[in-house]
Amino acid sequence: MQAESPVTSPTFDLLDSCGTFRVLVGVTGSVAALKVPLLVSQLLELPGVSFILITMEDRGLWRQRSDPVLHIELRRWADLLVIAPLDANTLGKIASGICDNLLTCVVRAWDTSRPLLFCPAMNTAMWHHPITSRQVDILKEFGYVEIPCIAKKLVCGDQGKGAMAEVSTIVDVVKQYVQKAAESPQEGAGAVRKEQARCCEEGAGQVP
């Protein structure tokens, strides 16, 4: 797998990962973000995959008119977006169409023909609030795929559902999409990768 650095400049090279399955990892403010290093290390073990890690705080990287519009470039770049963890606040924003940071802007512009996986993570009391199930259903109506949270003892000491799915579970789901793209190159992300490879060969600087 090819590892790419977290986005630090609006001029990052989208051609660096030509020929790979491109995974965009979105991270929100849940305490489960502590597991992101483990998630990244396991994604690194998947062959033929490259990834970029983004947070909610990278939006200010756009500085002048000549700079690429970062959330659009990321949306074009990625074959798959996985949000792990997805906290209650960002869940509500996505369900409502709010786009006030880099991650929510990427989601708002997302090509719904490409997979978006979301991994809810929040306190048990927040998970069981009636609005949560409605918001999760809205995301599913968009065609996004839930990797369900699990029940365990949370950091706050509560016992119950709301913990992010195990990292191994998340990686297994991503792996299924990678394998599907490899087996069906004319469909879905496979077709996107084929077009990306064509652009790379032509020396194009943008992914159509």
Give residue-wise pLDDT tens across range 110-155. Answer: 999 999 999 999 999 999 999 999 999 999 999 999 999 999 987 7
CATH number of the domain bearing residue 28: 3.40.50.1950
Instruction: Look at residue 35 and tell me if it is in a domain.
Output: yes
Ranges in the chain, pLDDT < 70? 1-18, 57-67, 185-208
> For the chain, how many structural domains are there in total?
1
Q: Which residues are 152's β-sheet partners?
A: 160
C-alpha to C-alpha distance for 9 and 14, rounded to whole angstroms: 12
pLDDT score of 70: 85
Written as one letter, the residue type at 191 is A
Active-site residues, by number, are 156
Dihedral over Cα of 122, 174, 74, 184: its sign:
negative
Answer whether 23's CB lies under 8 Å from 79's CB. yes
Which residues span the domain enclosing 135?
2-6+21-57+70-202
Instruction: Look at residue 99 and tell me if it is in a domain.
Output: yes
Instruction: Look at residue 64 and tell me if it is in a domain.
Output: no
* Exposure string for 112-127, b = 16+ CB within 10 A, e = fewer: eebbbbbbbbbbbebb
Instruction: Look at residue 146 and tell me if it is in a domain.
Output: yes
C-alpha to C-alpha distance for 127 and 88, rounded to whole angstroms: 8
CA dist list (Å): 174 to 8, 51, 169, 205 = 25, 12, 9, 27
